[in-house]
Structure 1
């Protein structure tokens, strides 16, 4: 049985007009020729998707891919140039820092103002007010004008209001990256509570860990179009491959081709081998040295398919002396008795020097599987014993 649809986005495109004049005076002087100084920019192109009740959807993509524009179109803040959006239920939105706050009003006054904008009556706000202030943790400043608030205090109060207006749909745009660690943890716990209550969340984030932990579905946007709509692990993989393609394209624009790199990653292999009841991981990297430079090294990391970083190391962390003469060389790193949970994992590899320069990178270069049959589930693979007295 499928869940009912809360948001339906049908063939939505959004166009902005970019004016090349730098000032209003230039626009007036060049009024007759203004069309020659305008350029159409399509932030969204033919986007269609449906969001079911109770789902948590992540919108990811490069800067300028259209994530925030799509979120604002879903929220009704921007109207699409073509297409339509149908939405039902009460909505709360955290789209940008301090949106809906008046600088000259106090925190208390802004709580009532923001709650009214989000559809709460004064009586409802009176009932929730103490809980809102307690969640925000800024009791001492609630009667201070918000123009004196720090960015973290802004987000604390805005998030506290948004999650207490009993929304059916919560829209969040990157604001969870602001605030200290205890407050971010409190936000994550509140979102998890929302998920258990069957509420719907649409989240824009650049954090693969955040998307992987929270979302059951991911939309990858590129150039305003949907590149992927579905499994979060596959979406994050596509996003990372896009980052690497952009990096290589940038090198070409600046006259640097991969063939000109002083060090190249020629091949990467990984294997998990069972030996006497333990699992040993072997990583083999073939490196082509073309133009030797001092103090080069290799770094590697292991991620889950959802982007959670489990481990990272470099050859500088060891006492090994790497070869530094032209030609192809094979580097092998062995990790004995790796105790990570059953599943598939990705290995990222990079070459560089101690100054921080990157020579070549291979994100998600290879994957490996860990053995099945372990007791329990999770990132760690343990062998518990149980005794009964």
Structure 2
């Protein structure tokens, strides 16, 4: 059976204009030739999405995820290659897409549904369901120009899921909805999955990708650099975030030469495992002095324990650590060199601890990544991550992302605490 979506070696480029000639004189002087730079948003992307699958697209900002989704939705036309989509597609892309600001919510429901190929008669039958799902009944006859971003999201998603699509394309727009509406959307996504519909999902949140997607593709500067189950793809993404994008250029150079025997030999040489290597074993966390609680409060101590093994005793080893939030953003990172410590001498096996006297972050789930590199040539021996390693719950003394302890001074005197 043919796949629901077939993406065959597509590329998409844009022209970036750094100068703009507005007058007739300027255009005549420059012979109407405006200098531009070619930017490839996608390069040689190929994969299939089978019927009933939920596939995620992950990557850094500017990696090409949203451009690829727009190509699948036929909003953008690929510069080269071909995309074959079978079935009715409903796309929930950037905020406000498919809406006219001067029309009311009611009128925009019919407009948006018409753009998705749904007749007025069918919209009449589903109109009440759309309004009920969006929870915008009192505002449905107001112009959408006065809607908040959350209201835009509610209305757009309500239309997309109520036009009976075979394929649902969802971009990061769900991140602007409130928690209750997000839960409602995910319930609907799960309902679609049980009905065997196909979903392509773009998100920066590893938790959402793990929760929703069967598998995922990792994009880096317009190229697919990894794929696998959702946890495997998140792990690949984390490695790219930790190491930078050098790996992508290495893969590209290998692929370009792979048509020749020399290129294939180079590829094998690049990916061969060196004789000298330090490997990350188990990563675990402990909360010193805290008994019974399965979480931290801001300011509590944290210990990250790492076991390791080596192919042989090795000197001149650096160890690094990074903490990630639920979106995959790095909230903290350092290594033994940045800490001003001597390079390590490691035996064939052992254990290390990173001891944090105080974790100065507020609410959230955090992941930990640990890696070993060579102090001599900066070669990465190994890098592994522990997903959702620990949880921090605010004690209510502050809001925001960081846990800071300011002092309040009035006229040179510290304001006393309440008795």
What interval of TM-score do these two structures reach, taking the shorter chain for normalisation? 0.5 to 0.7
Mapped to 2, the partners of 1:271 and 1:246 lie a distance apart of 22
Q: Contact 1:67–1:204 at 8 Å: present in 2 too?
A: yes
Structure 2 residue aligned with 1:94 = 92
Cα separation, partners in 2 of 1:302 and 1:28, compared to 1, 3 Å:
closer
Q: Contact 2:217–2:233 at 8 Å: present in 1 too?
A: yes
1:334-373 equivalent positions in 2, closer than 5 A:
347-349=368-370, 365-366=383-384
* 1:70 to partner: Cα distance: 0.9
Q: Could you report, residue by residue, the CA deviation over 1:333-354 in whole angstroms, capped at 9, with x for unpaired residues?
A: 79xxxxxxxxxxx84259xxxx
* 1:66 to partner: Cα distance: 1.1
Q: Could you report, residue by residue, the CA deviation over 1:266-303 in whole angstroms, capped at 9, with x for unpaired residues?
A: 9965378xxxxxxxx981489x9x9xxxxxxx987699
Mapped to 1, the partners of 2:147 and 2:71 lie a distance apart of 29
Q: Could you report, residue by residue, the CA deviation over 1:91-141 in whole angstroms, capped at 9, with x for unpaired residues?
A: 100111111111111101111111111111112111111111111011111
Q: Contact 1:89–1:168 at 8 Å: present in 2 too?
A: yes
The gaps in structure 1 that reach 5 residues or longer are: 250-265, 273-280, 291-297, 315-323, 335-345, 351-361, 370-389
Structure 1 residue aligned with 2:138 = 140
1:39-78 equivalent positions in 2, closer than 5 A:
39-78=37-76
Structure 1 residue aligned with 2:397 = none
Cα separation, partners in 2 of 1:23 and 1:130, compared to 1, 3 Å:
farther
Q: Contact 1:300–1:348 at 8 Å: present in 2 too?
A: yes
Aligned pair partner of 1:215 in 213, 216, 219: 213
TM-score (norm 2): 0.62
Structure 2 residue aligned with 1:275 = none
User: Do residues 332 (structure 1) and 344 (structure 2) align?
Assistant: no
Cα separation, partners in 2 of 1:226 and 1:308, compared to 1, 3 Å:
closer
Structure 2 residue aligned with 1:34 = 33
Q: Could you report, residue by residue, the CA deviation over 1:126-181 in whole angstroms, capped at 9, with x for unpaired residues?
A: 11111111110111111110000000000000000000000000011111111100
Structure 1 residue aligned with 2:4 = 6
User: Do residues 187 (structure 1) and 209 (structure 2) align?
Assistant: no
Which contiguous aligned blocks of 4+ residues in structure 1 show a shift greater than 3 angstroms?
22-27, 266-272, 298-303, 324-334, 364-369
Aligned pair partner of 1:104 in 84, 102, 105: 102
* 1:31 to partner: Cα distance: 3.5
TM-score (norm 1): 0.67
1:265-280 equivalent positions in 2, closer than 5 A:
270=282
Mapped to 1, the partners of 2:244 and 2:29 lie a distance apart of 36
Mapped to 2, the partners of 1:90 and 1:178 lie a distance apart of 26
* 1:230 to partner: Cα distance: 2.8
Q: Contact 2:235–2:385 at 8 Å: present in 1 too?
A: no
User: Do residues 283 (structure 1) and 282 (structure 2) align?
Assistant: no
Mapped to 2, the partners of 1:41 and 1:325 lie a distance apart of 41
Structure 1 residue aligned with 2:123 = 125
Q: Contact 1:270–1:282 at 8 Å: present in 2 too?
A: no
1:257-336 equivalent positions in 2, closer than 5 A:
270=282, 283-284=305-306, 327=342, 332=353
Cα separation, partners in 2 of 1:308 and 1:115, compared to 1, 3 Å:
closer
- The count of aligned residue pairs is 299
